[in-house]
Amino acid sequence: MKIDPDNKADLSAQIAEAIREEIMAGRLIVDERLPSEAELADHFEVSRPTVREALKRLAAQSLIRTARGAFGGAFVNRLSYPEAYGQHITTSTLLLSMNAISFDVACEARYALERACTPLAAERRTPDMLATMRAEIHRQGQPGLTDESFCASDVTFHRALVDSADNPVLSYQLAGAVEAMQPLMNMITFTARSREAIVGFHTRIADALERHEADAAQTALSELEAYTLTLGRDVMAARARPRKPA
Amino acid sequence: MKIDPDNKADLSAQIAEAIREEIMAGRLIVDERLPSEAELADHFEVSRPTVREALKRLAAQSLIRTARGAFGGAFVNRLSYPEAYGQHITTSTLLLSMNAISFDVACEARYALERACTPLAAERRTPDMLATMRAEIHRQGQPGLTDESFCASDVTFHRALVDSADNPVLSYQLAGAVEAMQPLMNMITFTARSREAIVGFHTRIADALERHEADAAQTALSELEAYTLTLGRDVMAARARPRKPA
DNA sequence: GCGTTTAAATTGTCAGACATTTAAATGTAA
DNA sequence: TTACATTTAAATGTCTGACAATTTAAACGC
């Protein structure tokens, strides 16, 4: 780890990249301690603040963690699921919100991925997960619920559906697709009738999973997708129309 | 954006988090310029190096970009697909390599997600994408190919399959699942016979997509999954057995 | 009017210092 | 000997002040 040519880019970025590659390649393993900031500064022939900026970059990606005090320092961090979830959700959300992704495209991706989980979920769903889904369905039927709370409950329901597949890698990958849709969904006004319809779909999905019927669950999911699409399209059409209606 | 209580955590982490929330909430919009480092230091009542560490954290997540010179500064960055891809792949790869994820679990997730793309890919596949798949299949049949190159070609083939669904959000989400498997796949020794089998599955998939037959493609994918699983299990079993066989 | 120069603003980097935290080593008393 | 308090050393966290490099806009000269 001593590559630093006559590059023009920021030194801190180069140093961060050099260390990152060491970690990605497995040459720095989990919980291994990096040299101290002073030693790194000496090694790369830069000042300590520059090294620190590089380390902060790595810390922001959860690649390292730091500890103060004697025998402290920077350590290669074991990327935990919560950390990975958080980063994935952040990235996915920003990607969708900043790139004018159409509601249709995001919706299609989300439901396609969720359907992928359904066969596994139908096979492995636990009473616990079913109870979570039922609870959220019940919450979604409450009259006083705000649109935002309804959306949040919707996310919780779908996450339970995904988690029912009992595959942490799948849950991780899906987290981005499901959570990133929330800002888009939050723009929708859920009327009493549309809520009723959605609760109906959710109930069909939960029922199907309970009976281990993957196909029925997939069908319900597809119909929910189609229904969501119509709700979203109305919103997007209204948004595209700048002339405000009185 | 002026929240900084008597928290114990690093100031640079707090400041980064405060700015990150502004961006995520949309209160700082794309291409908007942040205050200069000096102004931020003044605002948060910290020194400039501390502010800089915070900004580097954000830059590492592609949330901001910086420009030098007059009228330079830090700007909210529009997260591009390549940047999002890169971050997602990094995170996914590390998550798998550092958490003792079983080959089975990773494999199951990957193929479940790929099957989710198949119906769309069968509908929308372009001659271009088919040509890419055929080219990779041809490469995979070359005799002199190293295991690593075979793996790389495998990834390219599967990415073409995913991209055929013509949904950038789907491609982005899948990138993590497909690419992160590569280190695991690289541990496998692909014999001539296993390569022949895999090429056979790939050909069946490409043929099915060409004929717009989603079901046939999914079936082939499932069989490929099962076959990959047996290959992977052999490797993992050998790894788990420390007594070296002469 | 146009090209050149100058100035100003801003990030990038450096040096050195002090503050804070942590764990090990040491010392002390029951 | 054991338990507890103190010291010490190593490391990160933070600050101050300065200079370098870069980029744009304005001033200037022709």
pLDDT tens figures, A126-135: 999 999 999 9
> So where are chain A's domains?
11-76, 82-240
- State how far residue A209 is from chain B, nearest Cα, in angstroms: 17
DSSP string, chain A: -----S--S-HHHHHHHHHHHHHHTTSS-TTPBPPPHHHHHHHHTS-HHHHHHHHHHHHHTTSEEEE-STT-EEEE----HHHHHHHHHHHHHHHHHHTT--HHHHHHHHHHHHHHHHHHHHHH--HHHHHHHHHHHHHHT-TT--HHHHHHHHHHHHHHHHHTT--HHHHHHHHHHHHHTHHHHTTS---HHHHHHHHHHHHHHHHHHHTT-HHHHHHHHHHHHHHHHHHHHHHHHHHH--S---
Contacts of B34 (CB under 8 A, 6+ apart): B19, B28, B40, B55, B64, B73, B74, B75, B76
- State how far residue B83 is from chain A, nearest Cα, in angstroms: 9
- Domain A11-76 carries which CATH code? 1.10.10.10
Q: Specify the nucleotide whose C1' lies closest to residue A68 (CA).
A: D12
Q: Which residues touch strand C (CB under 7 A)?
A: A 10-12, 45-50, 53, 67-72; B 8, 34, 36-38, 48-49, 52, 55, 66-74
Distance B10 CA to C19 C1' (A): 14
DSSP-assigned letter for residue B31: T
The helix/strand/coil state of B216 is helix
Q: Is A57–B52 a contact, with Cβ atoms under 8 angstroms apart?
A: no
Q: Is A56–B61 a contact, with Cβ atoms under 8 angstroms apart?
A: no
- State how far residue B44 is from chain A, nearest Cα, in angstroms: 18
pLDDT interval class at A9 (50, 70, 90): confident
Domain A82-240's class? mainly alpha
Q: Is B78–A101 a contact, with Cβ atoms under 8 angstroms apart?
A: no
Q: Specify the nucleotide whose C1' lies closest to residue A39 (CA).
A: D11
Positions of strand C less than 7 angstroms from a protein CB: 7-17, 20-24
Distance B201 CA to D5 C1' (A): 72
Q: Which residues in chain B touch residue A169, judged by CB atoms under 8 angstroms apart? A: 95-96, 101, 105-106, 108-110, 177
Q: Distance between CA atoms of B84 and B130, rounded to whole angstroms?
A: 26
Compare CB distances from B53 to A56, A94, A165 and report the shortest one's residue.
A56
- State how far residue A169 is from chain B, nearest Cα, in angstroms: 6
Distance B208 CA to C14 C1' (A): 62
Q: Which residues in chain B touch residue A90, judged by CB atoms under 8 angstroms apart? A: 20, 24, 61
Q: Is B170–A96 a contact, with Cβ atoms under 8 angstroms apart?
A: no
Q: Distance between CA atoms of A112 and B123, rounded to whole angstroms?
A: 14
- Flag whether pLDDT at A40 surpasses 60: yes
| Tens of each residue's pLDDT in chain B, 246 residues | 766 666 778 999 999 999 999 999 999 999 999 999 999 999 999 999 999 999 999 999 999 999 999 899 999 999 999 999 999 999 999 999 898 888 899 999 999 999 999 999 999 999 999 999 999 999 999 988 999 999 999 999 999 999 999 999 999 999 999 999 998 899 888 999 999 999 999 999 999 999 999 999 999 999 999 999 999 888 777 766 655 544
Q: Is A53–B58 a contact, with Cβ atoms under 8 angstroms apart?
A: no
pLDDT interval class at A242 (50, 70, 90): low
Q: Is B172–A117 a contact, with Cβ atoms under 8 angstroms apart?
A: no
Lowest mean pLDDT among A136-150, A201-215, B229-243: B229-243
